């Protein structure tokens, strides 16, 4: 496959990994294609220091739960890639993923009322991962507490417009073909860190869904805007 772009783009990527949006799979796919030392190890949401930035800047691909504010501050010369996911589906996937971990799973009995209670507990404890997370991460910094969501929404739209590539979690094969053409590399999708099977949204407890909708008003606006623009 021939590369139609400047090869230097390939060497200077930032993958803004939105939680439960095929980010681990994408990082593994890129690492397999570019070499085992091409991508940094995944990292959690945090505020990068100058020392952190020097370390991560040594990799071809910086891939982690990086916020746009830190990307602009420390890696403004790199091109951004990311993957979007329908916000309520993303949030439900996150809740079920947390509940599937051993420390949470052992708390859940076969009593459906207890299972619902644990989901509500996860939502309460995981606010920064479930409250307009995409807008906050793509439009500012996930760890900021006092924010103007309307400003973050417009910033997030700008991030997506300026990104080299934006994939869609439920259409990754097509997205990877586009990314492969941009990078001039064959990319074979590897699925990693997939949430165990869970109910369809229609079968979830309405209280859970309603709470997540209320928490993700601006993520839903961003998703609808982006999906329409990308169509």
Instruction: Write the DSSP string, 75-97.
Output: -TTSEEEEEE--HHHHHHHHHHH
Give the integer Cα–Cα distance in Å for 139 and 32. 30
Q: Which residues contact 68 (CB under 8 A, 6 or more apart)?
A: 16, 137, 138, 139, 140, 141, 155, 156, 159
Q: Give the residue numbers spanning the domain of 16.
A: 7-230
The tokens of 210 are what? Answer: 């309603």
User: Which pTM value belongs to this model?
Assistant: 0.87
Question: Does residue 207 form part of some domain?
Answer: yes
Question: Does residue 1 form part of some domain?
Answer: no
Question: Does residue 170 form part of some domain?
Answer: yes
* Residue-level pLDDT at 192: 67
Give the integer Cα–Cα distance in Å for 45 and 64. 8
Q: Which residues contact 15 (CB under 8 A, 6 or more apart)?
A: 23, 26, 27, 30, 39, 61, 62, 63, 64, 66, 80, 81, 82
Q: Which of 125, 154, 131, 126 is nearest to 222 (CA)?
A: 154
Give the integer Cα–Cα distance in Å for 84 and 164. 14
Question: Does residue 2 form part of some domain?
Answer: no
Question: Does residue 208 form part of some domain?
Answer: yes
Q: What's the CATH code of the domain at 125?
A: 3.40.50.300
* Residue-level pLDDT at 194: 67
* Residue-level pLDDT at 117: 54
Question: Does residue 154 form part of some domain?
Answer: yes
Question: Does residue 182 form part of some domain?
Answer: yes
Give the integer Cα–Cα distance in Å for 197 and 206. 19
Question: Does residue 141 form part of some domain?
Answer: yes
What is the count of structural domains for the chain?
1
- Which residues of the chain register pLDDT less than 70? 1-11, 101-122, 124-126, 192-196
* Residue-level pLDDT at 100: 74
Residue 80 φ/ψ, nearest 5 degrees: -100, 140
């Amino acid at each position: 496959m021939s590369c139609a772009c400047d090869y230097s783009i390939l060497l200077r990527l930032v993958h803004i990994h939105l939680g439960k949006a095929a980010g681990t799979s994408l990082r593994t796919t890129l690492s397999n294609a570019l070499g085992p030392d091409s991508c940094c190890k995944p990292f959690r949401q945090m505020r990068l220091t100058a020392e952190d930035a020097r370390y991560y800047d040594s990799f071809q691909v910086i891939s982690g739960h990086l916020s746009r504010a830190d990307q602009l501050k420390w890696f403004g010369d790199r091109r951004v890639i990311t993957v979007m996911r329908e916000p309520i589906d993303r949030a439900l996937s996150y809740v079920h993923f947390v509940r599937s971990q051993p420390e949470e799973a052992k708390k859940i009995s076969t009593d459906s009322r207890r299972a619902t209670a644990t989901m509500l507990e996860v939502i309460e404890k995981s606010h920064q991962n479930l409250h307009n997370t995409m807008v906050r991460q793509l439009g500012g910094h996930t760890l900021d507490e006092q924010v103007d969501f309307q400003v973050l929404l417009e910033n997030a739209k700008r991030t997506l417009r300026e990104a080299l590539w934006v994939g869609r979690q439920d259409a990754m094969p097509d997205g990877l073909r586009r990314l492969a053409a941009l990078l001039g590399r064959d990319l074979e999708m590897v699925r990693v860190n997939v949430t165990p099977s869970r109910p369809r949204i229609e079968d979830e407890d309405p209280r859970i869904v309603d709470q997540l909708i209320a928490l993700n008003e601006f993520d839903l606006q961003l998703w609808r805007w982006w999906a329409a623009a990308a169509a």
